[in-house]
Structure formats: structure tokens, C-alpha cells
């Protein structure tokens, strides 16, 4: 079975309007990595600082001016910084494709309002998405939260415990940042028994088909445009600091597997 990243790369590469696009700006910030294509679409990706082992990095690539499709291939790199740039580029191209093909997205809808949670549900959230955690705790019987980064963990459990809880969850919410950590495929496999599965966050701003094919019910991402977003990332802002510069959206999979 192919990986989500490989399927995304194949989908993007088949689009005739992206092959000549180049990257105009790239920033690897302390919270997010941003990649801007020359048509002003910006892709965002969580910067996994916890997995970057050494502060000195000698890049093998010149990102600025490089072909976007070639840099998107770095989403499969074993170098964490390169991988973040690759995923961010995939997201930028995905947003451009969705706009150019008039894909349906519901803008301005908060993911917490679209997640189908029942009073007796056991909810597992992989990645401490704080706004979602509070709202879902008010709705569900039990909420387990897992976080990879010790500095962000707070009262959450380490993600090493996820195997024991995720297969029993009624609702699974998985951060898009798991794409850059290389764990998304495995987490979705563990979530197969859940009634409702969500992939959410700025890093989840990708073409949704590979996620829907794996049983995801809802994708919640962000559309970003313009250099102001890149500058905010360069200044080390978290999402809350530049949320006015992006548009949140959701895409639902209907029972026939179509987007709506």
C-alpha cells in the first residue's frame, strides 16, 4: 500500500498547471515552516523542533527559485527540515489546485462544530490542538490527548501510549503535523474502528483524497496567501498570531465518498 505522501505527490504531479511553478519564498520558523509559490499561495507545516537534533544545518538545496514540484518531493526526506519544506510546498500546491478546480470547501467553519461527537463518546486527540481539546471535553464522556513534543505536552500523554487508546476511540482527531513526523499513515490505521475520524490543523491543508480513501470523515485546514503569512512565520508567530491572515475551512466526506 502506498503512503499518503506518495499519493499526494502523484496527484499534484498530474496537474498540468503546476509543473512550471517555482518557490518564491521559504521560511523555516520556530513554530511553522512556510513555502510560498510564485502565484502567492502559501503552504504551512508544523516545524517539528523536537525532532531536529542539531542546531547547525547545511542545506543541500536552494529553495528559493527552485521548481515547486521538485521541492515537494522533499516531503519524503529523512532530513526533518527538508521534510517540513516539502510538506509546506505540497500544501501550497494543494490549495492552488483546489482553487483552480473550484473544489468545495466550507470556509469560516470551526472544526469543533463539525465533528460529530456524542455524549457517551470516547475521544482520542493526537496532537495537543488546544482549542479543540477544551470544546470536545465539554461534549464527550472521555477525552484522551497525546502530544509528541514534551514542551507542548502539558497534561497530555506522550504519543508513545497512543496504540493502547486510539483503536478503542469512537472519535479520533489527528493533527496534520503527523504527516511531517511520518506517523499519519499508522495513526489512521489505528483509527479504523472509530465512527468519526478527523485530520486537522494548518499542516492538514492538503488534497483530501488520500485521507478520505483511508476513512477520514473530515479534513480541517487553512488557505493562506501572500508574503505577510511568510513574514509572520519568520517572526516566530504561532497560528493564533497570524490567524487573521489565513482562512480556515473544512471538507467533509459524504457517504458516497465525495467531497462536500
Residue 257 has pLDDT above 50, yes or no: no
pLDDT tens for 51-96 read: 776 665 667 778 888 999 999 999 999 999 999 999 999 999 999 9
Residue 259 has pLDDT above 70, yes or no: no
Give rounded-to-5 percent helix, strand, coil for the chain.
40, 25, 35
Helix H segments across 101-161? 111-114, 130-137, 150-153
φ/ψ (deg, to 5) at 33: -110, 135
Q: What is the mean pLDDT of residues 181-194?
A: 96
In this prediction, residue 55 carries a pLDDT of 61
- Give pTM, 2 decimals: 0.92
In this prediction, residue 145 carries a pLDDT of 92
Domain ranges (residues) in the chain:
4-100, 110-222
pLDDT tens for 85-136 read: 999 999 999 999 999 999 999 999 888 889 999 999 999 999 988 888 888 8
Which of helix, strand or coil describes residue 167?
helix
pLDDT tens for 21-57 read: 999 999 999 999 999 999 999 999 999 888 776 665 6
DSSP state of 112: H
In this prediction, residue 256 carries a pLDDT of 47
Q: What is the mean pLDDT of residues 151-180?
A: 91
Residue 5 has pLDDT above 90, yes or no: yes
Write out the CATH class of domain 4-100: alpha beta
Cell 475520524 sits on residue:
197
Cα angle 178, 180, 182 (rounded to 5 degrees) comes to 65
Assigned architecture for domain 110-222:
3-Layer(aba) Sandwich (3.40)
What is the Rg, in whole angstroms, of the alpha carbon atoms belonging to the chain?
A: 17
In this prediction, residue 150 carries a pLDDT of 76
187/67 Cα distance (integer angstroms):
31
Residue 183 has pLDDT above 90, yes or no: yes
44/203 Cα distance (integer angstroms):
6
Amino acid at each position: 500500500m502506498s503512503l499518503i505522501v506518495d499519493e499526494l505527490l502523484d496527484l499534484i504531479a498530474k496537474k498540468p498547471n503546476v509543473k512550471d511553478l517555482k518557490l518564491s519564498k521559504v521560511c523555516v520558523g520556530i513554530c511553522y515552516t512556510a513555502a510560498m509559490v510564485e502565484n502567492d499561495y502559501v503552504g504551512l507545516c508544523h516545524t517539528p523542533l523536537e525532532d531536529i537534533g542539531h542546531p547547525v544545518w547545511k542545506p543541500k538545496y536552494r529553495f528559493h527559485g527552485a521548481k515547486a514540484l521538485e521541492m515537494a518531493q522533499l516531503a519524503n526526506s529523512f532530513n526533518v527540515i527538508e521534510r517540513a519544506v516539502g510538506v509546506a510546498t505540497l500544501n501550497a500546491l494543494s490549495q492552488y489546485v483546489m482553487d483552480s478546480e473550484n473544489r468545495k470547501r466550507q470556509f469560516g467553519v470551526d472544526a469543533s462544530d463539525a465533528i460529530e461527537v456524542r455524549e457517551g463518546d470516547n475521544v482520542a486527540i493526537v496532537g495537543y490542538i488546544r482549542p479543540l481539546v477544551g470544546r470536545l471535553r465539554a461534549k464527550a464522556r472521555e477525552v484522551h490527548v497525546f502530544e509528541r513534543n514534551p514542551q507542548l505536552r502539558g497534561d497530555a500523554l506522550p504519543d508513545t501510549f497512543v496504540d493502547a487508546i486510539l483503536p478503542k476511540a469512537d472519535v479520533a482527531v489527528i493533527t496534520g503535523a503527523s504527516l511531517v513526523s511520518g506517523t499519519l499513515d499508522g495513526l489512521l490505521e489505528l483509527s479504523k474502528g472509530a465512527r468519526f475520524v478527523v485530520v486537522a490543523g494548518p499542516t492538514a491543508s492538503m488534497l483530501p483524497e488520500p485521507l478520505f480513501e483511508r476513512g477520514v470523515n473530515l479534513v480541517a485546514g487553512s488557505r493562506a496567501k501572500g508574503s505577510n503569512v511568510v513574514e509572520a512565520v519568520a517572526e516566530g508567530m504561532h497560528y493564533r498570531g497570524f490567524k487573521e491572515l489565513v482562512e480556515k475551512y473544512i471538507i467533509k466526506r459524504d457517504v458516497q465518498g465525495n467531497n462536500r
